[in-house]
Structures are given as C-alpha cells and as structure tokens.
A and B are shown apart, each in its own frame.
Chain A
Amino acid sequence: MTSGLTADSGLRSLAERVLGQVPSAATYADVRVIRRRHDGLHVEGKSVGQVLTEESEGIGLRVLLDGQWGFACTARLDDLDAVVRRAVDQARAAHGLGSPISLAPAPVVQAVYATAVARDPFSVPVTQKIDLLLAAADGMCRSGGPQTVAEASMDFFRDEKVFANTEGSRIEQSITESGAGLMATASDGSDVQRRSYPQGVPRAIRGQRGDFASAGYEHIEQMDLISAAPRVGEEAVALLHAPACPMTTTTLIVGGAQMAQLVHECVGHPSELDRALGAEASLAGGTFLEVAGRGTQRFGSELVNMTADATLAGGLGSFAYDDEGVAAQRTPLVERGVFVGYMSSRESAARLGVTSTGAARADGWGRVPLVRMTNVSLEPGQTDLEEMIAGVDDGIFMDMNRSLSIDDQRLSFSFGCEIGWEIKKGRLGRLLKNCSFRGITPQFWAKCDAVANQSSYRLYGIPSCNKGEPLQVAHIGHGTVPARFRDVSVGAR
C-alpha cells in the first residue's frame, strides 16, 4: 500500500506568507493553498469522446475582522498582498450588518494525511484505461444492439492541500479519488431508456459519471466494468419493451444504489446545520429538522439509524481534517428513528453552543467552507434481502436514480428510477420501466418496516453534490442497504 503525495514546501511557504500578512486586528484567519489535478476519459461506442486533464493551484483566505467574514481567493500567486487586502476590505464593508460571528473552539493541530492508495491512478498508462473503457462500451453495444448508445468514463482527482490558521494549526492533506461508470441509452424512435453501473447520475454530467471512492486505481479494477457491461446494455433495451410502472399505492423496496440518493436528499441535506439556522434559506433552502427537535423529533420508524462519518475507509467524503482544521468524526444523525444531531461547522456549531462535527468543506481554493455532507449512511438493519422480498405479497423493487426533486424544506420528494421489478408473492417478477415514487420525508420513513443487513451494505461515492453561491460541487459518500416501505405512492410519473 502506498500513499498519495503530500504537499510540497512551496505550498506551505505560500500559506505562511499569506497568513503573515493578515492584520493583527483580525480575530481569526485561515488560509488554504490547494493544488488540484483531475484527469477524465470518456468513450462513446467505439470512439474516444473527451480526454481531459485539468490542474489548478490557488489560495483561499478567510478573515474574521470586526465580527464579519471576508473571503478572497486567487490563482495569481505573485500578488499575495492583493488577496489579503480584498479579504480585509470585504470584512470591513460588512461592519454592523449583523451580529458578530463567533467560532466554536477547536484543538490546534499539526498533522499530515494522505489517502491510502494501492495503485496511483495518475501513473496507470492512459492506454490501459482507454482499452478498458472501449471494451466495456463494446460489451454494452454488443448486447444492446444498434440502437444503443454506450458510454463509459473514468475520472481521477487529487487535491494537495495545506491549511493554516492564526490559532496555530498546520495541516497537510493529499486526497486521491478514483471513479468510473457505464451508461447505456437505448431508443426505438418513440421511447428512450437508460441503464447505468455502478451508480447513476441525476443529469448527463460528463466527466463525473459513476461511482467514486477515496482510493487509487484499485477501485476501478474492483468494479469489473467489462463483466457488468453486457447486462447494462441488455437491460437498457429490455426496458424499451417493459410495461410502465403502474400508478398505485404499494409496498416498495428501494435498492442500495437508489437508497444513496434517497439518503442524500432526505437525510443528508436536512441535517446541515446552516440550513436549520436559516443561512441557506434564500438559496438551497431550509430544513424540516428543527433545532429544538434534537432528541425528540421523529424522523422515521425505529428501524432507521443514520450517521455522518468522515472516517470511513475509502469513503468519498472521508478525510482527516475538514477545511477548518477540525478532525474527521462520526456523528449520529438519526437514532432509532429519532433525529438527534446535525452536521456543523465552527461558526454554525457556536450558534448552538456546541463543537463542530468537522463538516466544513470547500470546493477547492476558490470557495469558502460550507457545512457539507461527509459520508452519510443508512446503517444496516437485521433483515436479509431475500427475506425482505419474500415478505412482500404485491409490491415493486426500484433501483438506480434517474431523476429527483425535493422542496426547499426537504419534505415533498419525487424520485425517478432507471429500473424496477414487480414483486408478486414474495418473488421478483417482470421488469418495469418509468418507475417513480414520491412522498413526504418523515411520513415516508415512518413506513419503513425492514432494513437490510450488513451483507447488502455498500459504500457509494457521488461527486456531484451542489450547494452554495457561487456554486460548490462536493464529493460525498453514502453507505446504504436496501430497505422496505409500506403504502408508497408509485407510478410512471
């Protein structure tokens, strides 16, 4: 096992120089110097679509002065005075426009961390990656036929980050992420259906498709894309001829891949503390999980346990320290169906008089840290998946997200899935297309009467969580198992 790179002395030196120029009147400042690399490969059918390599390097400085934040960032590393001046000007301009900001205390840390990587993805020959993607696309095309568009992609990210603050923390982290995926789109002139593996995406996001992990190329090898490809192509075509999901109220089993998106929208975003405090009310929205409801507000049935855990090995939301220098930790969100806690930053935690849960994350050097998900998971229950299906006389099994929508309080949701199967007398039956289900979050989770056990557990990595203004895209993880829900409104729309 090897480790990813750690920061070089140039990044450390930049951080110290910027921090040294912050005026003494500032009550707090932190600086992040980040070098980011992303390589992406995308193939479509027999052709190589887009081959892309991206790199950026810059500084983000956050200053707390006169009780207000100022944030400035730049890729111009030859003019550090300017970035300090801009941050300070911003903080001063906001003087008096709100109560003074305070931060929850955090230990001073000096640390170095790197993602555990068995095979550095940036050292794997491009030829090997392209050959794998072309073979997988060919497998989908062969089984899908001439009307199937087969796409396959791989992406690799590495952030080398130096964090330093005026409290004395100095942290270097090298985070390496690897991901890949397949998607087959079949059409017959009047209908279009798609199948993905191992994880779908909410939109046609090129370059970040599939399932990701904080890991090296070994994550790609474990996916066995070539073996999965024929099934993906076959199912896309089979869906064209499948009956549509009936409009009815029935028993629903949500598969693990779909559960990742359900957990994300119904539990992850609502348990971000900045939303509960109203800081996101004008953009991302609020949450139905109330500050006063911690420990008493019912989220779902007693079978439901949710956690946010940035320490999970390989999780896409895993790290050693967040972007405020707070240690990664495991935070219970829902215990036995009761909402118990939020994910927080130092600023939001201070508003509640508690310490940060280490969930302040920024999208690179050019963005301010926000409360973001880490690895938000549905903890395994006691039921074997076969047993769960066997307990359904008449119902539907749905999996793999195709579309989603949820209101700004995270209550009313609608999810569309790539695929479904009828369940009749305890057994999976016909394929169903255009499957969707909808509900009101706490009412829906109250009807959860079975959660699959550890043998069905899988940790998914989704690199496309949007929040903030300017927009930030976070890479987060979801550990999930399938679960069963009674009396769910399902249908073809």
Chain B
Amino acid sequence: VTALANLPELLDILGPPAHLEALVERQELLRFANSRVTYQHSEERILVRARIIRDGRAAWGTTSTLRPAALLALRQRLETFLDALPPDGAGYLAEPAQCASPTTYFESTASATAQGRATLFRDALAMLPPGAALGGSITHGVVEHSVTNSNGLARSEQRTRAAAQFIGSRGEQSSFGRAVHRDALALPTRSVMDSVLAGLTPLPQRSLETGTYRALLGPQATITLLAIYAQIALGGHQYLDGLSAVSGQMGEEVISPLLTLVDDGADDAGLPTTFDTEGYPKRRITLIDHGRLTGVVHDANTARRARGLPTGHTAPPGWRFGGDPIPSHLFIAAGSANDSNLLAAVGSGLAIQRVDYVRVVNARQTLVTGTTRDATQWIEDGRIAARVPHFRFTLRLTDLLNCVEAVGTRRERGDSVFMESVVAPGIVVAALPVQTVVST
C-alpha cells in the first residue's frame, strides 16, 4: 500500500476539517473482434479527491498526483471557491467505524500479463466451431483505494478485478457470455465459452409477432433488468422524495414473493468492497424480502433524513450516474429451479440471453425500453427449438417482476456501468411484451 502512507501528510496540507481519498489504479485490457486483436490497453491512473470544509461550506477537487505541491495548489483553488459560497451545513465527515474484511485482492489478477491475456484469447479461439468468429475482451485490474479524514478515519483496501466477455457469431446467429471475479484464476472462462457455443447451435429460424409471451430471462438479462430496477427504485433519495415507484411502501409487497434482493459489499459471491467514497462501511441491506420492501440504501444526507445510518452508498462527486445513493453490490437470491426446470416452466415461449440498451422512460413508473441482443430463441415443449428475430420491449419493471413464476438455482456474477457487481439467476416471467420486431 503506497497511497495510504502519504495521506496523513497530504491531509495536513488541506488543513482541518478535510476529507481525502486516493485511488491508485492499474487496468489492462485485450480487446478483439472478428477473431483478431483490435487493441490493447495498459493504464496507470491516480485519482486524488479532496474536500475541504470551512464554516459550513464545502468544495471538492481532484488531481492526478500524490505530489504535495499539487495538493497545495488544489487547496488554494478550493479556498477561492469557498469564499464564493453561502454556508449550507455541508460540514459532515464520516466517523471511524468497523468494516467487514472479505478478500478483495488476488495476486493472480494483479500479476496477469499481456502474454497471459493473449493465451486466454488463443484458447477461446481454439474452442470455436468452423465458420464462427469471436469478439469481446479480457481485462485485469487492480486498485488501491484509501480514505482518510480529519475525524481520524483511515482505511485502505486493494481490490482486483478480472473480467472476460465473449461474443461468438456464426452466420446470422450470435451468442454472449460474461464473467467477472476478483480472482483471475477463478474466472470461469471455459464455462463462459461453453455457454457461448451452446447459443451458436444451429437452429431453424422462426418468425415472431408482436404480443405478449411467456419467457425465460437468462441470468445476464436478469442482471441488467434488476440492476436498473434497483437503481431507480431502491435508493434513499428517490424513496424519500417520492420519486421511486416504491416510495411510502416500506413493509408492503412490491414485487413477486419469489424474489429477494440484498445489497452486500462483504459477500464474496459478488465483487466485495468494504467502504464507500466517504469511508462509510458498506452495510448488508435486505432491500426486498420475498417481495416485501424492507430497505433502501443511504448516504449520509439521506440517512440523516431517514434517521438511520449511512449504508456505504455515497456517490462519488461528479459521478456520471448522478449524486444520489444507489445499490452497489446487488444479489438476487437463488430459487429452486434448475436450468431444465426453467425451460419446462416456460413450456412454449421465449428464451432471452441478453438485453441491450435498456433505458428508463419514466422512473416513477419503472417504465423502461430496450431490445434483445445475441441468442434470442423460441422454447417449445420445454426445449430450445428455434431462433427468433430480435425485438424491442417497453414495459414496467414492476409488472415484469410481479409476474415471476420461477427462479433459477444457478446464478451468474455480472456488473453494470453503475454497479460494482450484480449476482442473479435466470427467471421465468408470465408476460413479456414484444413491441416491435427488429430484424430477421
């Protein structure tokens, strides 16, 4: 750990009260398309975030170096900002508190090389059937995250992250698989490729009409949809301000009793992280228990309004996805149906491997629109029987999650651009609307 050792000196430069956070990051990537490497990326980045507080005024700043002179210059800029601000009671700082201690660092990921990524790619290419092509990426990253403040809080954590994404294509068919893990050695690249290849099995084309269908949403499709639901419905700000579909319904049944949603930064079934940008420990929150709303996540501001404790979900300043707390480590509890049971539960209907470009139309209504992508198939008598065209759906997530009829035993680990990790099984829904059929 290198940054944490420097932070006390840097915090002194800012002067009390102040908050200081450092992310020292290295990320390496191999990207490929049409079975050839398109580019590689090796990145070393330092992000230092500082907040100084004077007389109820607060200002944030960042720099890309741990050099004391840079922090001094940043402090001077921040002080000119503060002089212009009215007091607004922004003077809170996190207090020291116990954090969980899951394993977040694996040497296998930190020491992965360009040669190793190339070998993984070659191995995946070797599994392809004749006439197929492969796209995707393999990523290894390590970040050292340190936080300190004038209240005596000081924590640091090293986190690694390995990810593989494969998209196979053959003729008009394509198939997707993705895996993420803190430990590169545990990354299930071979089983991901197996599922990609299963999606490329030659199938007859079947037409598809607009209408409503029974459907099996595969784990990666479920991950995308549940992450969006949690983002727009289960944050403290939306809940308290009446902007969430579940505002005012704590304790009530809001979705199917077959579903239980938990946010837990310490569970190593996801990608564990023990504290947030302010240094608040991540607390396990049962968001929805068998369909009943039991909690939402908070930062310090919303926790104060709710008369509770911060749950470790403060959004970093200037974050692309807004300033409000949202779940970060989402788990959807496994059910009792194995893969064959899920297909049987559909009977006749759709199998959706992946959904894409799902966007919120109306957050209060949980209204979203998106399209299917890659293996979109037809189930007949409980077996995959044909491939169907991609289609657009527009639906209320609360409607979809209220018509869940079966939940899978097998879960996959994924992520989203606004969540560190999401772990979800496949689910069977009674009514998935097909709004527009895209192409054949």
Q: Which residues of A contact B (CB under 8 A)?
A: 40, 42, 47-58, 68-76, 82-83, 86-87, 89-94, 97-99, 125-127, 129-130, 149, 185, 187, 189, 191-192, 202-208, 278-283, 285, 366-368, 402-409, 411-412, 414, 416, 434, 436, 438, 440, 464, 469-471, 473, 493
Nearest chain-A residue to B165 (Cβ)?
Answer: A282
The answer to whether B42 touches A55 (Cβ under 8 A) is no
Asked whether, in the complex, the Cβ of A94 is within 8 Å of the Cβ of B40, the reply is yes
B172 to chain A, nearest CB (A): 12
Q: Which residue of A has the minimal Cβ distance to B356?
A: A408
Provide the bound-state CA to CA distance between A76 and B36, in Å: 31
The answer to whether A408 and B357 touch (CB under 8 A), given A53-B77, A97-B118, A368-B41, is yes
**Are A206's CB and B81's CB within 8 A?**
no
B42-A54 in contact (CB<8A): no
Cβ < 8 Å to A, chain B residues 417-438: 417, 435-436, 438
- Measured CA separation A466–B423 after assembly (Å): 25
B193 CB, min distance to chain A CBs, angstroms? 14
Contact status A469-B31, CB under 8 Å: yes
Binds A, one of B92-100, B273-281, B284-292, B320-328: B320-328
Quote the shortest CB–CB distance from B126 to chain A (angstroms): 12
Expressed in whole angstroms, the minimum distance between the Cβ of A210 and any Cβ of chain B is: 15
Check A407–B318 contact: CB distance below 8 A: no
B362 within 8 A of A: yes
- Complex-state Cα separation, A178 to B27, whole angstroms: 31
Partner of A470, one of B41, B77, B356: B41
Beyond A97-B32, A126-B84, A493-B367, whether A414 also contacts B392 by CB under 8 A is yes
Report the separation of the CA atoms of residues A438 and B392 in the bound assembly, to the nearest whole angstrom: 10
Q: In the docked arrangement, what's the CA distance between A52 and B363, Å?
A: 27
Q: Are A187 and B243 in contact (CB under 8 A)?
A: yes
- Partner of A405 from B59, B117, B323, B371 at Cβ < 8 Å: B371
Give the size of the chain B interface in residues (CB under 8 angstroms): 86
Cα A406 to Cα B242 in complex, Å, equals 29
How far, in angstroms, from A327 to B313 measured CA to CA in the complex? 45
State the Cβ distance, A262 to closest chain B Cβ, in Å.
15
Question: Bound complex: CA of A366 vs CA of B28, how far in Å?
Answer: 12
Of B4-12, B62-70, B184-192, B254-262, the segment with at least 4 beta carbons within 8 Å of chain A is B62-70
Kindly report which residue of chain A lies nearest to residue B121, judged by CB atoms: A97
On whether the beta carbons of A407 and B243 are closer than 8 Å, the reply is no
* Chain B positions within 8 Å of A204 at CB level: 321-322, 324
Nearest CB of B to A87, in Å:
7
The residues of A that contact B317 with a CB separation of less than 8 Å are 50, 52
CA distance A412 to B46 in the complex (A): 40
Residue A407 contacts which of B63, B371, B394 (CB distance < 8 angstroms)?
A: B371
Name the contact of B118 in the complex, choosing from A50, A94, A203, A206 (C-beta under 8 A): A94
Per a CB cutoff under 8 Å, which of B35, B135, B361 touches A403? B361
User: A473: which B residues are within 8 A, CB to CB?
Assistant: 320
**A406-B357, A407-B390 are known contacts; what are 7 more A-B pairs with Cβ within 8 Å?**
A55-B63, A75-B46, A189-B242, A282-B33, A403-B361, A473-B320, A493-B394
Bound form: Cα–Cα A40–B81 in Å = 11
Residue ranges of B at the interface with A (Cβ–Cβ < 8 Å): 27-47, 58-65, 74, 77-78, 80-81, 83-86, 88, 113-115, 117-118, 121-122, 135-137, 139, 165, 167, 169, 241-243, 317-324, 356-364, 367, 369-371, 373, 390, 392, 394, 417, 435-436, 438-439
Contact B38 A279 (CB under 8 A): yes
Chain B residues in 8 Å Cβ range of A189:
242
Is B42 a contact partner of A130 (Cβ separation < 8 A)?
no
Distance from B140 Cβ to chain A, minimum over Cβ atoms (Å): 12
Q: Which B residues lie within 8 Å of A440 (CB)?
A: 436, 438
User: Within the assembled complex, what's the spacing in Å between the Cα atoms of A91 and B37?
Assistant: 10
> Is A366's CB under 8 angstroms from B358's CB?
no
Contact A412 B41 (CB under 8 A): no
26 contacts between A and B (CB under 8 A): A49-B323, A52-B318, A55-B64, A55-B74, A56-B63, A56-B64, A68-B37, A71-B40, A75-B64, A94-B114, A98-B38, A203-B321, A203-B360, A281-B34, A282-B167, A367-B41, A405-B369, A407-B390, A409-B438, A412-B371, A414-B361, A416-B361, A464-B320, A470-B29, A493-B361, A493-B369
Complex Cα distance, B81 from A141, in Å, reads 25
Enumerate chain B residues within 8 angstroms of A464, measured Cβ to Cβ. 320
Nearest neighbor of A368 in chain B, beta-carbon distance: B39
Q: How far is the CA of A42 from the CA of B165 in the complex (A)?
A: 37
Among B28, B37, B39, B321, the most chain A Cβ lie within 10 Å of the Cβ of: B39
CB-CB nearest 4 A-B residue pairs: A98-B36, A282-B135, A56-B64, A93-B114
A51-B60, A438-B436 are contacts. A90–B114 as well, Cβ < 8 Å? yes
Question: In the complex the two chains form, is B42's CB within 8 Å of A281's CB?
Answer: no
Q: Is the CB of A56 within 8 A of B357?
A: no
* B-chain residues with CB within 8 Å of residue A404 when the two chains form the complex: 359
Contact B369 A403 (CB under 8 A): yes
Q: How far is the CB of B351 from chain A (nearest CB, A)?
A: 18
Query: Among the listed A71, A75, A83, which residue makes an inter-chain contact with B65, where contact means beta carbons less than 8 Å apart?
Result: A75
Among B33, B43, B61, B392, the residue within 8 A (CB) of A54 is B61
Interface centre among B43, B60, B135, B136 (most CB of A within 10 A): B43
Q: List A contacts of B135 (CB < 8 A).
A: 278, 281-282
Q: Are the C-beta atoms of A56 and B394 separated by less than 8 Å?
A: no
Q: With the chains together, A50 CA to B90 CA distance in Å?
A: 10
- CB proximity of B320 to chain A, nearest CB, Å: 6
Does the CB pair A187–B40 fall under 8 Å? no
Contacts of A75 in B (CB 8 A): 44-46, 64-65
Given known A86-B42, A93-B115, contact A405–B359 (CB-CB < 8 A)? yes
**Complex CA distance for A436 and B323, rounded to whole angstroms:** 27
CB of A242 to closest CB in B, whole Å: 14
Q: Which residues of B contact A90 (CB under 8 A)?
A: 28, 40-42, 114
Q: Nearest chain A CB to B30's CB is how many angstroms away?
A: 7
Report the Cα distance A72→B29, complex, angstroms: 10
What CA separation (Å) do A392 and B300 show in the bound complex?
Answer: 53
Please measure, in the bound complex, the distance between the C-alpha atom of A278 and the C-alpha atom of B435, giving whole angstroms.
28
Q: Please, how many angstroms separate the alpha-carbon atoms of A403 and B371 in the complex?
A: 14
Contact (A409, B439) CB under 8 Å given A72-B43, A93-B115: yes
Q: How far is the CA of A280 from the CA of B32 in the complex (A)?
A: 9
Complex CA–CA separation, A127 to B242 (angstroms):
33
Contact B33 A407 (CB under 8 A): no
Cα distance A285–B321 when bound, in Å? 22
Across the interface, which residues of A come within 8 angstroms of B88, CB to CB?
A: 47-48
Q: Which residues of B contact A405 (CB under 8 A)?
A: 357-359, 369-371, 392
Which of A74, A205, A402 contacts B322 (CB under 8 A)?
A205
Q: Does the CB pair A71–B242 fall under 8 Å? A: no
For the complex formed, measure the closest distance between the CB of B54 and the CB atoms of chain A, giving whole angstroms: 12
Which chain B positions have C-beta within 8 A of A206? 318-319, 322-323
Q: Kindly list chain B residues whose C-beta atoms are within 8 Å of the C-beta of A280.
A: 33
Query: Smallest Cβ distance from B128 to chain A, in angstroms?
Result: 14
Contact partners of B319 in chain A: CB under 8 A? 206
Q: Which of B41, B118, B439 is the one whose CB lies under 8 Å from A411?
A: B439
Q: How far is the CA of A125 from the CA of B80 in the complex (A)?
A: 9
Chain A neighbourhood of B40, CB < 8 A: 68-71, 90-91, 93-94
Looking at the complex, which one of A51, A83, A185, A278 makes contact with B33 (CB distance below 8 Å)?
Answer: A278
Q: Which of A285, A414, A470, A493 contacts B43 (CB 8 A)?
A: A470
Closest to A409 in B: B439
List B contacts of A56 (CB < 8 A).
47, 62-64
CB <8 Å contact, A50 and B60: yes
A92–B117 CA distance with the chains assembled, in angstroms: 12
Residues of A within 8 A of B165 (CB): 282
Chain A residues with Cβ under 8 A from B417's Cβ?
Answer: 471
> Smallest distance from the beta carbon of A90 to chain B beta carbons, Å?
4
Complex formed: what's the CA distance from A98 to B115 in Å?
15
Given A69-B40, A73-B44, CB of A54 within 8 Å of CB of B322:
no
